[in-house]
Structure 1
Amino acid sequence: MNYHIPSHRIDEPAYRLKEKKFQEKRSKKIDSLSQSTLSASMTASTVYRYARIALTLDPEAGELKTWEAWTAAMQVYNALFELSSTPEGTEVECMIDHRMRTLTATGPRHFTNAGNWETAFFLAITCRDEKRWRALCEFPVETLRESAQKGGISYNEYAYHWVSALQAFVLNRPGLAEHLARAIELSDPRNGAFGGDMLDKLVFPQMNAFRHFADGNSSAFNEALAEGLTAFGSYHTATPERAEDIDGVVPLGLLALACWAHDRHQHHPEFTLEVESGYLPKYILDGGWVGEFPV
């Protein structure tokens, strides 16, 4: 069964007018990492914002500059974990925005938390960088918890089971089913999770889609993916403010799972991706730009 899920458009004229400035600011932000990595988390967030702005102007990611912005976000987010998993003061070589950069390791910091891990992981999947996403799966979940606590950041408990489930899947470790079931259970607001309608419309749908992907159930995966994209659109159009928020451009977790499904089909033709949506940028989904330049 084929699904066609419409997406809403973020119509912000200033983005087009300032497009060149956004590219320049991205380069300056990334260049600043060579002077100091202590603000690396803020840099990653900003660069990812610019990548999503690029998608508002080029929804299919059909232009090379959009892919450059997207991969730069992936590179900076993954650099957070390279820098924090290396002893403080050590020099680390990181490829970011077409250049190999020598950065100074920070050791464990507040930014090595579950939220940034998830963003780094899903970005690596969309960029088809298996080396990076596997390296993230070696990152201890307890370190994510400790870093968040040191930074005064509170995450729902389900977040740590969710990360554990993804790591177990990638590394073929035991505990996948148990961690995923626990993550789904704990993400239910009736079990004390905080987050309002975000839990039902953004959190649970990607867990549900992943569950069917891990089971190899193509039909159930497509249905869950379609439901997740619909819920994402519903959440981000619930108010005029949300409808113009850059967070509504792309559902990163669902996009990453769709990329995995697209690639699985290449080796297992019986597993098909049958969902089309403006929320799934065509040239990121099909990997059309992968290999265009080193990442």
Structure 2
Amino acid sequence: MRIKRKYDPEFDKYVPLEEWLESPREAYEEIVEDIEIRRDNLLMISEDMIKLARWLTWEVQTPEIEKESATGLRYASKMYAAFLKLAQYPEQEQTFKIYDLPEVTWNGKGMLENGYAAPSEWIDAYFLAVITRDTESMDSLANFPIETMKQSATQAGPVSYKLVEVFQAYHHSKADYPKLLDECMGMAVKQNDWAIYIAFGYLETLAALSPAALSPATFDVGCDFNEALAKNVQAQERYHIYEAGPDHAPVDSFLSLQLLGMACMWHDMGNEVTVESDSLSRFLINGTYFN
């Protein structure tokens, strides 16, 4: 099944792709220097690498472009997980050696007071680790206490915290995963807006990923994994286009970390991902650069 993106950046008419790529590419080239400057660069660089990968989906997917995207995401996964680990133990000095980058030592003092460790950051970080097959970061994030997130100055709605709980339960294969999934779906339906268009889409795709693990009482998604994936890739692009408005690019839709991460999970279970979309980069699904 081939899905064509609805959004058209019209690079020839407005801002050329090279200009959109200029800032994140500069961050990519300066990782070695920037990682040592300040603690918060662990997050800033990660966000730039995600942005780089998203804009690179509009390039012709040569091996060079694929490797640039994959390498940036690989660095970002370790940095994001390290950043959140600092928030988990704010008083503790921790040292990180991320691949070939310089070793850095930081503590997490003030992170929660400054609003870091919100559920949205955890969800991005976790699925970034899934995409890059970074099991060490996945395990670290799966053990991040939700109560610590709730101490962050940046607060979120109940669905966001419940989402984290569901993903952590899935990661640990907990017996109450189906119950938590069902509860979170119900909460998303009642909340509407982002919860029904985005959060419910994550949950629906996750439910289709492992239907055998669900109880009869759990929401019946009524479709297989590829159908759920295709449906939600399209639905979430429509939401991001609407949310961004006519004057901004729906950048988040260029590469949905969560839906792409679940496609990677499906592939790694030995199944075929039959959905083809520029927002579901095939080399990332296949784990080409992460073996």
Residues 157, 70 of structure 1: alpha-carbon distance in 2 compared, 3 angstrom cutoff: same
Structure 2 residues not aligned, in runs of 5+: 214-221
Distance in structure 1 (CA, Å) of the matches to 2:60 and 2:155: 35
Instruction: Determine the structure 1 residue equivalent to 2:133.
Output: 128
- Tell me which amino acid in the other structure corresponds to 2:25: Q
Instruction: Determine the structure 2 residue equivalent to 1:268.
Output: none
Alignment of 1:121-270 (within 5 A): 121-147=126-152, 151=153, 153-188=154-189, 191=190, 193=191, 196=193, 198-216=194-212, 220-238=224-242, 239-241=245-247, 244-265=249-270
**Please, which moves more after superposition, 128-137 or 229-238?**
229-238
Q: For 1:112, what is the secondary structure of its paired residue?
A: coil
1:198-249, CA deviations, whole angstroms, 9 ceiling, x for partnerless residues?
Answer: 333322111101012122499622211111012123224445335x232221
**Large movers: runs of 4+ above 6 Å:** none
Q: For 1:290, what is the secondary structure of its paired residue?
A: coil
- TM-score norm. by structure 1 comes to 0.81
Structure 1 residues not aligned, in runs of 5+: 266-270
Instruction: Determine the structure 2 residue equivalent to 1:10.
Output: 9
1:46-81, CA deviations, whole angstroms, 9 ceiling, x for partnerless residues?
Answer: 332233223333568753112222223223211212
- Tell me which amino acid in the other structure corresponds to 2:196: D
Q: For 1:34, what is the secondary structure of its paired residue?
A: coil
Alignment of 1:4-43 (within 5 A): 4-7=2-5, 8-12=7-11, 13-17=15-19, 19=21, 22-28=24-30, 31-38=33-40, 40-43=42-45
Instruction: Determine the structure 2 residue equivalent to 1:90.
Output: 93
- Tell me which amino acid in the other structure corresponds to 1:128: R
Aligned positions, number = 273
Q: Is this contact kept in 2: 1:10–1:249, CA < 8 A?
A: no
What is the CA-CA distance between 1:39 and the residue it aligns to? 5.4
- TM-score norm. by structure 2 comes to 0.82
Q: Is this contact kept in 1: 2:24–2:49, CA < 8 A?
A: no
Residues 65, 40 of structure 1: alpha-carbon distance in 2 compared, 3 angstrom cutoff: closer
Higher relative contact order, chain-length normalized (CA < 8 Å, sep 6+)? 1
What is the CA-CA distance between 1:17 and the residue it aligns to? 4.6
Distance in structure 2 (CA, Å) of the matches to 1:18 and 1:219: 37
- Tell me which amino acid in the other structure corresponds to 2:148: T
Instruction: Determine the structure 2 residue equivalent to 1:285.
Output: 285
